[in-house]
Amino acid sequence: MHTTLLSTLLLIAPLAFAYPSAPAFKLCNIIYNSSYIFSTPAHYATGSGTVSFDLTESYEPYERTHCSAYSIREFDFFYGDYTYACDSVPGHEKTSTNFTFSTSGAITINQTSTISGNHTPHVRTFLAYGNGTVPLICDNAYKETANWTIGQVFS
């Protein structure tokens, strides 16, 4: 059988049009918040940080997975070494999405989907992984306890 370049291109062209680009994650509605409380003007008492975002995949752009995390680890709260679970999308309970986040903006996403065939007993598991940097553009707001006296919480 003699194969020409044209016939090879014609055979793979439908694949290229079905998947014009590599699958990709898209993060939107990204919110990072941190709060610090001082017991005196010079003594840090406690703090917390939250991060949340919605995640879409290029192969299902209308399905959104919500991801969020809360931390009380001092002082940056997120260091990229803990894995947080995202919410399941209704109807896609066999898909698990996790992420790590660092206040430097580094983020990793892991998603595992298990799919059972309708007419076959075969089960397939797909793993998607992505990482990148989220540019954090932050506003700082300072609140001070007016007329602070010893024994009061200073914030």
Beta-sheet strands, E only, within 19-138: 25-40, 43-57, 60-71, 84-85, 95-101, 106-116, 123-133
Kindly list the domain boundaries of the chain, sorted by start residue.
25-133
Mean pLDDT in residue range 47-63 = 82
The predicted-structure confidence for 95-152, as pLDDT tens digits, reads as follows: 889 999 998 889 999 988 777 666 666 666 777 888 888 888 878 777 777 777 777 6
For the cut 80, the answer to whether the pLDDT of residue 70 exceeds it is: yes
The DSSP secondary-structure symbol of 5 reads H
CA dist 113 and 128 (Å) reads 8
Longest pairwise C-alpha distance within the chain: 91
Quote the pTM value: 0.70
